[in-house]
Structure 1
Amino acid sequence: MSRRRVVIPSEEELERRNTVGIQAEYISNVQATDFPRHYPGEDNSWNIDKFRDGFRVQFHKNGPLEASFSLIGIHAAVANAFRRIMIADIPTLAIETVFIENNTSVIQDEVLSHRLGLIPFKGGREGLHSFLKWYKKKPNTATDNLGVSGDHFDYNTVLLRLQVKCTHNEDAAEGERDPRKLYHHAHVYARDIEFVPVGRQARYFSGADAIVPVNPDILIAKMRPEQEIDLSMHMYKGVGSDHAKFSPVATASYRLLPTIKIVEPILGADAEKFAKCFPKGVIRLRKVTRQEAAKQGSGYEGHEGELKAVVEDPMKDTVSRECLRHDEFNKKVKLGRKIDHFIFSVESTGQWESDAIFLESVAHLKAKCKAFEKQVINMVR
C-alpha cells in the first residue's frame, strides 16, 4: 500500500496565491484557491486551529464616530457578511411616525416628515439597546390626540415634540439683514426637538443619557414671522434592512491591502517621478548607503549617495496604476492586493460607538450560525 505524498508549497508560491495581481489593463488571481483538492497532494481542509493561528484583528483608528481596522486571515465572504450585518441588521432608533398639528412653513408635510425621519439620535446605552423593545402595530387601534394608541408603551415607543413659531426680534439692530438675528426661530434645528419621557423612560433617559439628536445643528426648516410648526413624533426600534434611516452606520466599507514590490532599483530622477505616481506617504526617497553600494548583485553598485525609491506605507495607496503607464517602471514594480487582508472603515451615526458596531456584528453572525446549525440538525433528524 503506497503512501500519499504530501506537497508543501514554498513561501513564494503561497505569496503568489495570496496576492491579487494588478496589471495595467486587467487584474489576475482574484479567486481564493485554499480549499481541498484544488492543488494535488496538498491538504487545504479547514480547521479551527489553523484559522486561529492565522487570523488577526488590527486597529488603525478607534474613535467614537469613526474606526478603521484590519481583519487578516479570513475569506471575502466572511468579511462581506460583517459589512452587510453592520449596515442592515444592527437595530437603532429612528422617527417612524409624524403627527402634524400645524405646519405653515414653506416645507410640505411629507418633505418635513422625511427630513425628521433621517435625523440620527443618541441616548443612554442601556435604555437604547436593552430596555427598548420592538414595536408591533395592532390593527384597528384607536389613538389619542398625540397619536398614542393602545399598542404603544414606554418600552417600544419614544415620544418627541417639535413646537416652534417664528416671531420678530424686537432687540434686532437697525438695518440688520440676517434673518437669524431679525427673527426668533428663523431657522429650525434638530436641537428644537423635545424628548418627552413616558413611564420608565425617565429612569433610563435622563440627564446626560436623555435622547437627543447626535448633531443639534441639523437644519430642519426655515421660517418667517407668523409661520409655525407644531407636531409630535414616534420613534421605534428598527434595522437598516427595513429602511436606511435605521442603519447605525453612515458608511461601512472595506478594501484589500495594497502591495507594492520594487523588483529592480529605481534611482535618481526616476525615483522622484516614481514617488509622484502614488499618494503622499506611500513611497519614500532615501539615499543609497555605502553597504548597499558595495554589495554585489544589489543593483546599487556605484550609486552611493543617490536617491532610491522605497515603499513606506502601502496602506495609503489607492492602486491607481499610474506608475504602470510609464514604460520605465513596467518591469521594475509589481502591484497587487492581499486577498485575505481587509481594511475596514466604519463611520457611526452616533447611536452606537464605531467599534461596538463591529463587535455587535460578530455577535449577530454567531447567532445566525447557531440558528443555521440548529436547522441543519433538525433537517437531518
Structure 2
Amino acid sequence: MKTIEEFLSDLCSLDIKLWVEENRLRCNAPQGALTPVIKAELAERKEEILAFIRKNNVTFSSHNQPIRPVPRTENLPLSFAQQRLWFIDQLQPGSNFYNLPAAFDLQGSLNVVALEKTLNEIVRRHEVLRTTFASQQGQPVQVIHPTLTLNLPVINLQELPQVEREAEVQKLLSTEASQCFKLAEIPLLRCTLLQLAQEEYVVMFTMHHIISDGWSMGILIQEVAALYEAFSQNQASPLPELPIQYADFAIWQRQWLQREVLENLLTYWKKQLGGNLPVLQLPTDYARPPIQSFRGQRKSFALSTDLTEALKTLSRHENATLFMTLLAGFKTLLHRYSNQEDILVGSPIANRNWQEIEKLIGFFVNTFAKLRGFNARRNGMNTS
C-alpha cells in the first residue's frame, strides 16, 4: 500500500482537494476524478488522513473562509502564481515565453461595433484585464486601472487569392503571438480581427499568462458569445456582476498561505523535490544544449474513436480516470525510449476548486510534479 504522503500526492495530481472542517474530512474533486477505488481508499484511510493533516498543522481552516471583496486603498499583492511569472520576467525581460495566443473562426454577418463593445465590457467586468504590475521597493504590486478602452483593429485580406490569404493569416498569427508584453504597461491583452471574406473572419486574442490561463480562455469565449448576442440586438448585458475579482483571491491566498501552513507545505515539497532529480535522457540526434533555448514545438494528433472507447473501457476496468491511463502510457513510452526507471512528469491542474473563482478570468493554473520509479512494483508500490 502507498504511504499517506504518496496517496495524498496522487490525489493532488488529480486536482482532488481535502480539508478538515469542524473535525470532519471534506473533499472536493473534478467530475470523474473520484473513482470507486479512490472513494474506498478515502473511506478506509480517513482517520490516517485526518491524523496527517493535524500532525502537519495543515488544518485549512482559513482555506475554507469565503473569498470576500477587499478595499483597494493599499498596495495589492500578487498571487503566488503571478509572483512566479513576475520574477521570471525580471530575469528575462522582453520575452514572449508566457504569451497565450488564441484564434477563433467567425462565420456569418458580423457586427464589428457590437464585437468591440463586447470586448470592452469583458475588460470592464474583469479587473485583472485592466491590471499591470509595478515594483515598489523591490516588491511587485498589482496596479488596477479604473478604465481601459480597447480598439479592435480590422485587417482586410479579402483581395488576396486564397493561397496567399491563408499564408498571410498564418504569418499574422505567428507575428501576433510573438510580440512581447511589458508587465508594467497596459494593456496585457491584444485583439485583432482579420476579415477573409464578406462573411468570414478570424479574431485573434493574445494575453499574458500573468492575467489568464486556459480555463480563462473558456470564460472569455462564453462571455463573448453571451454579450455579443445581446449587444448586436441593442440589448443590455445578460451577465450578472462578479461578486469578487482576482485581486480579492490573491489577498485571500496570501492570508491563508502564511506562517506554519506555508512552512509545512514548503518543507514537504522541498523534501519531495530535493536531492538529485532525474533528467530525462532521450536518445536524440543532438546532445542537450548547455543553455535552454525554449524553442520547443507541439505535435498534435487525434486518436480514433475505437481506440478512445477502448481506453475509456480500460480506465473503468482499472478504476482509473482517462487522464491517469494516458499519463501511465506516456510515462511508459518515455521509459522505453530512455530506459530510465525514475521519470519526473509535470501535470498542469486547473486549481479552481472554489466556487467563487470559477467565473473569473485570471491566472490560477498550477503544475504538479510527479516522480514514480518503474522498479517500484518490486517494493509493492503502484507506479502510476
TM-score, length basis structure 1: 0.25
> Which structure dedicates a bigger proportion of its chain to helix?
2
Q: TM-score, normalised by structure 2?
A: 0.25
Higher strand share goes to which structure? 1
> Which has the larger Rg?
1
